Structure 1
Amino acid sequence: MTELLTAAQMRAIERAAIDSGAVTGLELMERAGQGVVDAIFAHWPELAPSRGPAPVPPKYLKPEEGDPRRAVVLCGPGNNGGDGFVVARLLREAGWAVEVFLYGDAEKLPQDARANYARWSALGAVQPLTAEAIARLAGDVVVDALFGTGLRRKVDLPLDRVGAGLRRVAVDLPTGLCSDSGRALGPVLAADLTVTFHAMKRCHVLSEGPRASGQVVCVDIGLHVTDAAAVDVRRLGAPEALGKAEGHKYDFGHALILSGGVGRGGAARMAARGALRIGAGAVTLGCPPAALIENAAQLNAVMLRKVKDADVLAVVLEDTRINALCLGPGMGTGPREAALITAALGSGRKVVLDADALTLLSKDAALFGQLHADCVLTPHAGEFARLFPDIAERLDAPATTGPAYSKVDATREAAKRAGCVVLFKGADTVIAAPSGRCSVNAAVYDRAAPWLATAGAGDVLAGFITGLMARGFEPMQAAELGAWLHVECARAFGPGLIAEDLPEALPGVLRALGA
């Protein structure tokens, strides 16, 4: 996992480093500016000086004779603007023609930014940034050093018109985005390359952030996480400890997936296949008696049981080897299904609730009240809005000031209310526990998996999580592992993916992990 920081957490990390005497604010600005220049030349090698870096500062030699490269650097009224003045100076030292614009009053710049403003002013002019200036910007690169994590409101400029045809570089994050939520506070200056420092910010993986950020490069500027930062949200990375030791099949659990009636069993069959592939020792699909033959014609390793109603389910659950249940995929939304959920929640087992089960929970407060800490809810946006309408309304309201209410905030609030783990699906899947523990499974940038937008993919995810809980993983960990593996299966298969392919791609993914 890697930490995802809020603006406040990043400020705390920087302040702790400066207060400790380990580094000065000016040194951090210099490192940040150099990191941006290095990233520009790495991302667009055709812009880099042909003879390579000089052995002493300035780091880059001037280009060969001819028209110089041209950069436009947009500086803001805070320390992000100070980073911009460093970038401008370093590009000029590399032989570039550089135009610098300032949004705000130079006399009101913070101390370190003011010092770098003065250093640049000894080399070149600083022009005011206005709408008229934006309309005539031209060059090879435009560098957005306007606000970074400090933005709290809409910027009164046509930022979405900046740099048409130019390579656009954001310092820390694109101006117009809320750092903590990834939501637009107004027009956004979308970037082709975003250079951030120390760690990614939440905006880089949430909401509109990935689309606006282009490619994100994280530059080490010599900071360390401190207690003052209280980092509490992380982006999921490759898991560990997924392998199976020697043992009997029931040492790895027995998952029970409940199915719908005739013609409605496909979703549950895919969930069952996912649970089996991810390593549950045994998987049984429970279905109405009339659907038994249909399911038997399509399942082999997955066992079958007739489950007519909640009374029969209670008898089935007398088998204490059954330790994880999945309800919802294709199940139906009638009184029988509501009674099945009641029986499942009262059984003391770990339970995954998806699809139709979430619809039933949203309609019945008493049923919702039976949720417990060993449950996982897996809603997509529509299901989330039905389950938690007030939370969804707050999340969907226009963002006008920062920090804006985020998907992290919404999922945490939902998990606390439900008393169980909530996995809020999307390209920016957020997983939260009632304790506040939270992680983001971001299928963005090099992990983008657009092929998951296909019918049944969520049913397979529910099966993955159920199988992992059957194996003994706790609900939060099972949800995190299942979500990460789900994306990796889609990426491994690639274009043309349908939901049935996901379980079949899993063995290769697990093998690559050494599981």
Structure 2
Amino acid sequence: MHDALQDMLVTPNEMAAIDKDAADSGIDSFSLMRSAGMAVSAAALRLFPTASRFVVLCGPGNNGGDGYIAAEALAESGAQVALFSLGDPSKLRGDGAKARSACRLAVVDIGTYEPKSGDVVVDALFGAGLARDLPNSAQDVVRRVDASRIPVLAVDLPSGIDGRTGEVRGASFTAAHTVTFIAPKSGHVLMPGRALSGALEVFDIGIPARLVAARASDLRINGPAIWKQYAGGLEAGTHKYKRGHLAVLSGGPASTGAARLSAAVGLVGGAGLVTLGSPPEAMAVNASHLTAIMLKEIGSAADLGEWLQDKRVIAFVLGPGFGVGKKARDFALMLCDRALVLDADGMSSFQQAREELFEKIAASGGQVVMTPHEGEFARLFPEVAADASLSKIEKAQAAASLSHAVIVYKGPDTVVAAPSGRAVVNVNAPPWLATAGSGDVLAGIIGAHLAQGFPAFEAAAAAVWRHGEAGNRAGRSATAETLAQSIPPLT
């Protein structure tokens, strides 16, 4: 893949525009289809060398054209190939019709296919452009193939996955491997599409990078390239205040653990020093558990206002174990003009007063990051969450625009979105990150990055990625404490 396309995500509409621009520029569209089909056949032979038979299922559009080319190439290599079509192949038009004409294999109706042991299915029914339910005849084949447990190699995207949202449209193949072209699509990285795509291989079929970049939006797969300019090494003459002072605000004596966890992670994440702001009644319990973390009594808005006079305190984390209510709202509104991670109870406190928060963020010009999981997102952005037409990426972007904050929409396919529309999708997180305290760890890492001077978007993206890597390092038995011990360095 061309270096300029690394980590790029495109939507199906953007990919369609890229294909059109390529054709308009004089590139022969059939040559691109042929490159795609040959890439599929090469992947099939490489991945499934012991297949008894390759069963190529061709759809009524250009994805089917890729399949016809792949089928012919597989047959020429000496493999046994069976070819099935959805619909009448004589009705194909354009490059799809040319591909069918160039394929010398007999084709029969897809409804007659009965899976056999040793088969490998090459799924070329529908690609990333699918935005409706699969036809019933295709759904029947999906069910038969799934029941047989034979492997599936998907062309572009497993048929049945919506290329924009990653959702299943009626039914979907579960692919062992997917070959797509030019760049991943959003449906490859959003759940459940990501899980159903298997291993993803991106093949450059020859469209110039400049044409891709001209149509692609600012959407990426999350990775170090997003924040590398802010993750430089430490200077020899640095000191703790240069590395950033992070403040984490604690709840009452019965709920101090979450804030202490975020504070401890703040140090591991790179802040030069971390202070836990504690209400008077929780000072003793917090003091008994802290060593490197400093402790300051913050019981009221007046206490917080006085602390804010110290401009060396760069960033704040508010929410883990803090408690829902007026105090959380008052504190959050005071912190909107600073670098702030608003997590958990901090967000939930604004369920009935979100406009005040959003207006304050917009007016203050601070660097605010909010970190909702599915339930919190639905409480704070109910109209966005209820819009079934939107993908998770689009929901995060809408929430960021509405709130004027960077949104970390958590889950197995965490999306980080900025009010500008910029977004990344995270793909490195293992499922065992779903453990108590995991969100507190993430909040602490984001806070550490904000304290070090990262812009809010990059702070959040880097933290989500490091959080995922920590989960991989900690392994299946990960707890919040072992996650904190497993956070990788930024560089």
Tell me the TM-score normalized by structure 1. Answer: 0.88
Q: How much has 1:368 moved relative to structure 2?
A: 4.2
What do residues 44-82 of structure 1 show as CA deviations (whole Å, max 9, x unaligned)? 3444xxxxxxxxxxxxxxxxxxxxx31211111111000
Q: Does 2:248 match 1:254?
A: no
Report if aligned partners of 2:161, 2:172 keep a CA contact under 8 Å in 1: yes
What do residues 158-200 of structure 1 show as CA deviations (whole Å, max 9, x unaligned)? 2431422321111000111111110112111221111111111
1:232 aligns to what? 218
What do residues 306-362 of structure 1 show as CA deviations (whole Å, max 9, x unaligned)? 1111111111111111111110000001322222222222xx211110000110021
Q: Aligned pair in 2 of structure 1 residues 320, 331: CA closer, same or farther (>3 Å)?
A: same
Out of 183, 195, 217, the position equivalent to 1:199 is 183
Report if aligned partners of 1:72, 1:138 keep a CA contact under 8 Å in 2: no
Q: Look up the SS of the partner of 1:293 in the other structure.
A: helix
Counterpart of 1:381, as a letter, is: E
Cα distance in 2, alignment partners of residues 42 and 238 from structure 1:
30
Cα distance in 1, alignment partners of residues 335 and 438 from structure 2:
23
Q: Which moved more, 1:215-224 or 1:9-18?
A: 9-18
Counterpart of 1:393, as a letter, is: A
Out of 374, 377, 388, the position equivalent to 2:381 is 388
2:33 aligns to what? 29
Q: Look up the SS of the partner of 2:350 in the other structure.
A: helix
Q: Look up the SS of the partner of 1:249 in the other structure.
A: coil
What do residues 367-390 of structure 1 show as CA deviations (whole Å, max 9, x unaligned)? 443224521100000000000011
* RMSD between superposed Cα atoms in Å: 1.7
Out of 339, 354, 362, the position equivalent to 1:350 is 339
Report if aligned partners of 1:276, 1:283 keep a CA contact under 8 Å in 2: yes
Cα distance in 2, alignment partners of residues 32 and 428 from structure 1:
28
Q: Aligned pair in 2 of structure 1 residues 426, 208: CA closer, same or farther (>3 Å)?
A: same
Q: Aligned pair in 2 of structure 1 residues 179, 272: CA closer, same or farther (>3 Å)?
A: same
Cα distance in 1, alignment partners of residues 465 and 478 from structure 2:
17
Once the two structures are superposed, the pairs formed by residues 333-344 of structure 1 within 5 Å of their partners are 333-344=324-335
What do residues 102-133 of structure 1 show as CA deviations (whole Å, max 9, x unaligned)? 1123233131111111121xx22111223xx2
Report if aligned partners of 1:171, 1:194 keep a CA contact under 8 Å in 2: yes
Q: Does 2:299 match 1:321?
A: no
Q: Look up the SS of the partner of 2:57 in the other structure.
A: strand
Counterpart of 2:81, as a letter, is: V
Report if aligned partners of 2:58, 2:68 keep a CA contact under 8 Å in 1: yes
Cα distance in 1, alignment partners of residues 224 and 272 from structure 2:
23
2:3 aligns to what? none
1:426 aligns to what? 411
Q: Which moved more, 1:186-195 or 1:12-21?
A: 12-21
Q: Look up the SS of the partner of 2:105 in the other structure.
A: coil
> Quick one: percent identity of the two aligned structures?
42
Tell me the TM-score normalized by structure 2. Answer: 0.92
2:154 aligns to what? 170
Out of 193, 199, 203, the position equivalent to 1:215 is 199
Report if aligned partners of 2:41, 2:71 keep a CA contact under 8 Å in 1: no
Q: How much has 1:476 moved relative to structure 2?
A: 0.5
Cα distance in 2, alignment partners of residues 147 and 422 from structure 1:
33
Q: Look up the SS of the partner of 1:488 in the other structure.
A: helix
Q: How much has 1:137 moved relative to structure 2?
A: 6.2
Q: Look up the SS of the partner of 1:286 in the other structure.
A: strand
Out of 458, 470, 482, the position equivalent to 1:501 is 482
Out of 50, 59, 82, the position equivalent to 2:65 is 82
Q: Does 2:165 match 1:160?
A: no
Out of 151, 170, 175, the position equivalent to 1:186 is 170
Q: Does 2:119 match 1:140?
A: yes
Q: Aligned pair in 2 of structure 1 residues 343, 94: CA closer, same or farther (>3 Å)?
A: same
Report if aligned partners of 2:48, 2:120 keep a CA contact under 8 Å in 1: no
Cα distance in 2, alignment partners of residues 464 and 423 from structure 1:
13
Q: Which moved more, 1:380-389 or 1:184-193?
A: 184-193
Out of 67, 76, 93, the position equivalent to 1:93 is 76
2:472 aligns to what? 491
Q: Does 2:403 match 1:415?
A: no
Q: How much has 1:222 moved relative to structure 2?
A: 1.9
Q: How much has 1:139 moved relative to structure 2?
A: 4.8
Q: Look up the SS of the partner of 2:360 in the other structure.
A: coil
Q: Does 2:357 match 1:364?
A: no
Q: Look up the SS of the partner of 1:484 in the other structure.
A: helix
Counterpart of 1:235, as a letter, is: I
Counterpart of 1:244, as a letter, is: L
Out of 14, 20, 27, the position equivalent to 1:15 is 20
2:274 aligns to what? 283
Out of 257, 263, 271, the position equivalent to 1:266 is 257
Q: How much has 1:41 moved relative to structure 2?
A: 2.6
Counterpart of 1:38, as a letter, is: A
Q: Aligned pair in 2 of structure 1 residues 359, 335: CA closer, same or farther (>3 Å)?
A: same
Out of 234, 239, 243, the position equivalent to 1:244 is 234
Q: How much has 1:14 moved relative to structure 2?
A: 2.4
Cα distance in 2, alignment partners of residues 105 and 405 from structure 1:
33
Report if aligned partners of 1:162, 1:189 keep a CA contact under 8 Å in 2: no
Cα distance in 2, alignment partners of residues 200 and 350 from structure 1:
33
Cα distance in 2, alignment partners of residues 45 and 126 from structure 1:
23
Q: How much has 1:434 moved relative to structure 2?
A: 0.8
Q: Does 2:458 match 1:477?
A: yes
Q: How much has 1:97 moved relative to structure 2?
A: 2.2
Q: Look up the SS of the partner of 1:369 in the other structure.
A: helix
Report if aligned partners of 2:258, 2:437 keep a CA contact under 8 Å in 1: yes
What do residues 277-326 of structure 1 show as CA deviations (whole Å, max 9, x unaligned)? 11112110001111112111111111000111111111111111111111
